């Protein structure tokens, strides 16, 4: 038992998922910076600012995830070579237009969402409510920003009215 009442081995699956999140988040972060710098066209001002908001948010979450791993008495993955090797999210090398950038981010979000859900399952199994809570709030945040990005890509003519 460690100082939090966890056996180190019990939280290992959670930590693996958290390290995977760190890897995915770093590539996502750099994709956002890439898009922030290289955005062009009529939506420049709007998306340039939005991408900055998203990478600042990602930067804070990266730190929270790494420090959660340390709190669980494990070591966070800390080098870019390890991130590149482990990440499921790929670096963006292409020249994308505004719409393609938003679509690419939505794809990145899908990977993060899947990674969040796996982490929550593992943490919940280990009785680690602290991680469940933290990652649960990150999940809710990214689901909301995915909705907004998805709404941005939608064609006004295709709204379904259900009321
Ligand atoms: Fe900037």
pLDDT confidence of residue 158 = 60
pTM of the shown model: 0.93
Question: Could you tell me the distance, in angstroms and rounded to a whole number, from the CA of residue 132 to the centre of ligand 1?
Answer: 33
Render each residue's pLDDT in the chain as its tens digit; 163 residues. Answer: 788 888 778 899 999 999 999 999 999 999 999 999 999 999 999 999 999 999 999 999 999 999 999 999 999 999 999 999 999 999 998 899 999 999 999 999 999 999 999 999 999 999 999 999 999 999 999 999 999 999 999 976 566 666 6
pLDDT confidence of residue 91 = 97
Pick from 78, 73, 80, 62: which is nearest to 21 by CA? Answer: 62
Which three-class secondary structure state does DSSP give residue 139?
A: helix
Question: Could you tell me the distance, in angstroms and rounded to a whole number, from the CA of residue 46 to the centre of ligand 1?
Answer: 13
Question: Could you tell me the distance, in angstroms and rounded to a whole number, from the CA of residue 78 to the centre of ligand 1?
Answer: 25
Question: Could you tell me the distance, in angstroms and rounded to a whole number, from the CA of residue 26 to the centre of ligand 1?
Answer: 17
Please state, in angstroms and rounded to a whole number, the distance separating the CA atoms of residues 1 and 74: 14
Tokens 């939608």 appear where? 154
Question: Could you tell me the distance, in angstroms and rounded to a whole number, from the CA of residue 160 to the centre of ligand 1?
Answer: 37
Write the class of the CATH domain 11-153: mainly alpha
Instruction: Give, to the nearest 10 degrees, the angle between helix 129-153 and helix 12-38.
Output: 30
Arithmetic mean of pLDDT over the chain: 94
Q: What is the pLDDT of residues 62-92, one digit of tens each?
A: 999 999 999 999 999 999 999 999 999 999 9
Three-state secondary structure string covering 45-89: HHHHHHHHHHHHHHHHHHHHHHHHHHHCCCCCCCCHHHHHHHCCC
């Amino acid at each position: 038992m460690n100082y939090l009442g966890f056996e180190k081995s019990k939280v290992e699956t959670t930590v693996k998922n958290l390290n995977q999140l760190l890897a995915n988040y770093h590539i996502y972060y750099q994709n956002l910076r890439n898009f922030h710098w290289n955005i062009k066209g009529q939506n420049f001002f709007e998306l340039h600012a939005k991408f900055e908001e998203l990478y600042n948010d990602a930067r804070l979450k990266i730190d929270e995830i790494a420090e959660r791993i340390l709190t669980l008495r494990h070591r966070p993955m800390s080098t870019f070579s390890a991130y590149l090797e482990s990440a499921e999210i790929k670096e963006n090398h292409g020249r994308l237009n505004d719409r393609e950038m938003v679509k690419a981010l939505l794809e990145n979000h899908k990977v993060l969402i899947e990674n969040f859900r796996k982490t929550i399952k593992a943490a919940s199994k280990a009785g680690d409510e602290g991680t469940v809570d933290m990652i649960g709030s990150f999940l809710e945040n990214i689901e909301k920003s995915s909705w907004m990005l998805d709404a941005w890509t939608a064609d006004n003519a295709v709204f379904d009215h259900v009321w």
